[in-house]
Amino acid sequence: MTATLPSYEDVLKAAARLEGVAHRTPVLRSSTLDTRLGAQVFFKCENFQRIGAFKFRGGYNAIAALSEAQRRRGVVAFSSGNHAQAVALAAKLLGAPATIVMPADAPRAKKNATQEYGARVIEYDRATQDREQVARQFVERDGLSLIPPFDYADVIAGQGTAVKELLEEAGGLDALFVPVGGGGLISGSALSAHAISPDCQIFGVEPQAGNDAQQSFRSGAIVRIAQPSSIADGALTQALGQLTFPLIQRHVKDILTVTDAQLVQAMQFFAERMKIVVEPTGCLGAAAVMNEAVPLKGMRVGVLLSGGNVDLASYGAQLAASDRLPPT
């Protein structure tokens, strides 16, 4: 893994690699929410991306940047779901064998999709095994190229193409809200926002139960926490990365948190009012906006909906158990 921080130039290179491969996902609006907040809110809907999440951008860019010899040998990745699917599909499109290290308790739908894309899935126990060590065994033994889920320059650059597209379509923004797990998405998003809309304030949002990024941001050093528990399964990282943390420090205004109940309320809003399915992790930024975690009146606000991969049984149960939204 290179220690060199990626730049907006790397995002532009990623955009060229992804042209005609990744979907240019829609930017949707809600007049109901705009009226409620007194703001203009632009949702970049990566739930409509290939594999159902923004992760395809970074996964494809990282594998496309490898040499032909590296692609022939194959790639290995570790992920709870969306990065797994992204690497599996990208590897298939680029002719590279893929091995994916996934937790045994990963959502079944994500595990099935990963295998359907042609990848070999190796399961591990979150409580007793280190996923990076499991993956590195394949690097050392078989010469596979490791594609980490967030702390990797080409992955970060690929993720940054989503906000590049958002700003090209929506124009300049006053604020941007981005989900935070390991920090790959917000790091790439920050590179694009800083280059295209430099006055835009960038806010990361993570689960309240796993606020390692918030603690790190406010203390000035990477804080590692115990394995968190939240319905936002794509944001259950324990620490930011060596590349993502300095980019967040450089470009992000603040890191906010939301509760699982607020995530469910956001999921319900998208299902009922906008007729789209957004997974809990994908709702992190939206939940912060809907609950006005910072003042937004009169502002142009971007929100990145990072994915829409849900287990339908869990999704239905979460919505059924939630309180009804208040009338608007």
The number of domains in the chain is: 2
The answer, yes or no, to whether residue 169 has pLDDT greater than 60, is yes
213, part of any domain? yes
**213 and 308 inside one domain:** yes
**177 and 111 inside one domain:** no
The answer, yes or no, to whether residue 2 has pLDDT greater than 70, is no
Range of the domain at 106: 57-146
The answer, yes or no, to whether residue 69 has pLDDT greater than 90, is yes
Question: Domain boundary residue among 146, 181, 208?
Answer: 146
Give the tokens for residue 266: 């956001």
d(CA 72, CA 96): 6
Which residue(s) pair with 98 in the sheet? 75
47, part of any domain? yes
d(CA 54, CA 158): 9
Question: pLDDT tens across 175-214, in order?
Answer: 999 999 999 999 999 999 999 999 999 999 999 999 999 9
**307 and 231 inside one domain:** yes
**42 and 62 inside one domain:** no
Q: Which has the higher per-residue pLDDT, 131 or 36?
A: 36
Mean pLDDT throughout 265-290?
A: 97
1, part of any domain? no
Mean pLDDT throughout 10-39?
A: 98
Question: Which of 12-21, 31-40, 108-117, 154-163 is predicted with the least confidence, judged by mean pLDDT?
Answer: 108-117
CATH number at residue 301: 3.40.50.1100
Give the tokens for residue 137: 């065994």
pLDDT level of residue 323 (50, 70, 90 thresholds): low
Mean pLDDT of the chain: 94
Give me the long-range contacts of 216-220 (CB less than 8 A, separation at least 24): 216/240, 216/245, 216/255, 217/248, 217/249, 217/252, 217/254, 217/255, 218/255, 220/249
The amino acid at residue 38 is G
Kindly report the backbone phi and psi dihedral angles of residue 200, in degrees, each rounded to the nearest multiple of 5, phi listed first: -70, 130
Mean pLDDT throughout 95-100?
A: 97
135, part of any domain? yes
Question: Domain boundary residue among 122, 146, 170?
Answer: 146
Cite the active site residues.
55, 80, 206, 210, 212, 306
328, part of any domain? no
The amino acid at residue 55 is K
Question: pLDDT tens across 101-146, in order?
Answer: 998 987 787 788 899 999 999 999 988 898 899 999 999 999 999 9
**244 and 314 inside one domain:** yes
